[in-house]
Amino acid sequence: QKEKAKNEHFAIGAFNVCNIETLKAVTQAAVKLQTPVILEASDREINYFGIKELSAVVNVLREDLNIPLILNLDHGKDFEMCKRAVEAGFDYIHFDGSALPLEENIKITQEVVKLAHKHGLPVEGEMDHIQGSSEDHTKEDPTKYQLAGKYTDPEAAYGFVKKTGIDVFAAFIGNLHGTFATSEKLDFDVFRKLTTILPNTYFSLHGGSGISADQIKKAVEMGIVKVNVNTDMRIVFKNVLQKTLNESNEIAFYKLARPAISAVQGV
């Protein structure tokens, strides 16, 4: 799927799922569009859903829906979590060691790659800490967060990819986790240098919620093959569910959840 995306200049959407409702929303949207989709969950989302439970439900959906569903560990924080995801049957492993000293990050990423490749699974690595969080920052200026981090250095990225053997590189080119008062501006000059120095590497774009459609489109045309979205879904799910609860005397949750599922599907 990654090679097809790169060759045909499209990106696969990667959407976080933390419960059966968001899982339904994302897979229903994928069925409607007849498109492959990446279903992903972070450590905390996995601990809430259950790692074996999430994998089992996705396997059932994969059989029933007959579309490519890729289950991804999103921002796995240590080797043990990556190992658990591999053993649970995940299809894609993202190890995020960006908060660690570079050499330690490289060492652990190498071990994750060794384990995942043994099982035929691709690995996404992260060298520079992508700023922000998957929260509503719409009262804040994104530039404050962008200036807090160092954008990916193409030469350093080349060394990181060659030493670790990762398949996908999570670039920091101005993209942030969360939504902000204004759209984030991506540094396409940095990204162009990255794709030039690493022509055989796939690239992901985290923080899709806060980036305008035209910037997303340009990034995809330049070589992004995976775009992560989470915050937009969280905000809509919470707001619509809250409105439904406030306006309804219904007590059956499966009825109360339907408008929120529909709204997240729209996202």
Active site residues: 74
DSSP string over 31-90: HHHT--EEEEE-HHHHHHH-HHHHHHHHHHHHHHH-S-EEEEEEEE-SHHHHHHHHHHT-
Distance CA 264, CA 259 (A): 9
Q: Do 222 and 187 meet the contact criterion of CB atoms below 8 Å apart?
A: no
Interatomic CA distance for residues 113 and 171, integer angstroms: 18
Q: How many residues does the chain have?
A: 267
Phi, psi values for residue 163, rounded to 5°: -75, -35
